Amino acid sequence: MDEILHLNGKPKGLVFAVSAPSGTGKTTLCSMLSVEFGNIKPSVSYTTRTKRKGEKDGVSYYFINDAEFDKMIKEGEFIEWANIFGKRYGTAYKSVVADNNSLFDILLEIDVQGVERLIKIYRGIKNANRLVTVFITPPSYSDLQTRLLKRGGMSEEELSRRINIAGVEVKKSGIYDYIITNDDLDEAYLKLKSIVIAERCRNKFKLD
Ligand code: ADP
Ligand code: 5GP
């Protein structure tokens, strides 16, 4: 599968991987980015979790069952996948590989395990698309709890599980290129779009 990331030896679009503890505001911020930047293509992941209110199949995720997920693993269709909160989530190779004529950048909204895996994969591939990683943190755990409650659709037990996992994820944020605190939404968005703009201006031919 590696050769499909080579893009004829020339890096083309960027791959932005954005993570955040569940409830931080990653979906909100990434949707703002997709609205403003028509040339960023959000990757739609596959998941075995059930749909939340307002989510659409093929837009938020491809909602599939365990047998379908197993089949995709077996057939090597995922560049990465992870077990999160007891459900599986995966990024298909085909979602991160733009065709050779594409000028699109790709946006992945994935968890820390997925980013760890992608960093390893991309490091090993010469001339791969450049991976840019961004971690979004909530201003505090109590803000995170408020946001999760506001979004709704989860039990007390699941809520406390997500808060505990948030602590583990924040501890791993050192692997990311950028960190943004999502306190004021507009300010956080300004930071996120500034990263995109700056990364697009990076000199690809800089001498070492
Ligand atoms: P995630 O994708 O990280 O799980 P969401 O984007 O679904 O999080 O946001 C969770 C909830 O928090 C939503 O109700 C959203 O409107 C709200 N939210 C997002 N950013 C902020 C912010 N800066 N201040 C207050 N509420 C926010
Ligand atoms: P949610 O159920 O709240 O939509 O997502 C739960 C977590 O799964 C979030 O941290 C989200 O970023 C992560 N996630 C979504 N898709 C993928 C994926 O394809 N791969 C990985 N590793 N994580 C994903």
Q: pLDDT digits over 7-45, tens only?
A: 444 446 899 999 999 899 999 999 999 999 988 999 999
Give the pLDDT of residue 207.
Answer: 79
For the stretch 170-202, pLDDT in tens is 999 999 999 999 999 999 999 999 999 999 988
State residue 130's pLDDT score. 87
Let me know: does 125 contact 2? Beta carbons within 8 Å: yes
Quick check: CB of 151 below 6 Å from ligand 1? yes
Strand segments (E) across the chain: 15-19, 40-42, 46-47, 62-63, 78-84, 87-92, 105-109, 131-137, 178-181
**R_g of the chain, CA atoms, integer Å:** 17
Mind listing the domains of the chain with CATH numbers? 2-44+104-200 (3.40.50.300)
State mean pLDDT over 146-153: 86
Q: How far is the CA of 32 from the centre of ligand 1 (A)?
A: 12
For residue 190, give the ligand nearest its CA. Answer: 1
Q: Report if pTM > 0.85.
A: yes
Give the C-alpha separation, 36 to 40, whole Å: 9
The Cβ-side half-sphere exposure at 173, using a 13 Å CA radius, reads: 20
Task: Please state, rounded to an integer, the average pLDDT across all residues of the chain.
Answer: 89
First-to-last alpha carbon distance for the chain, in angstroms, is 29
Cβ < 6 A, ligand 2 pocket: 19, 22, 45, 49, 80, 82, 84, 89-91, 109-111, 113-114
If you average pLDDT over residues 138-154, what whole number do you get?
90
pLDDT of 132 over the 80 cut: yes
Structure tokens at 203: 């000199």
- Record the tokens describing residue 150, joined without a space: 């506001």
Vertex 87 angle, CA 64 and 129, to 5°: 75
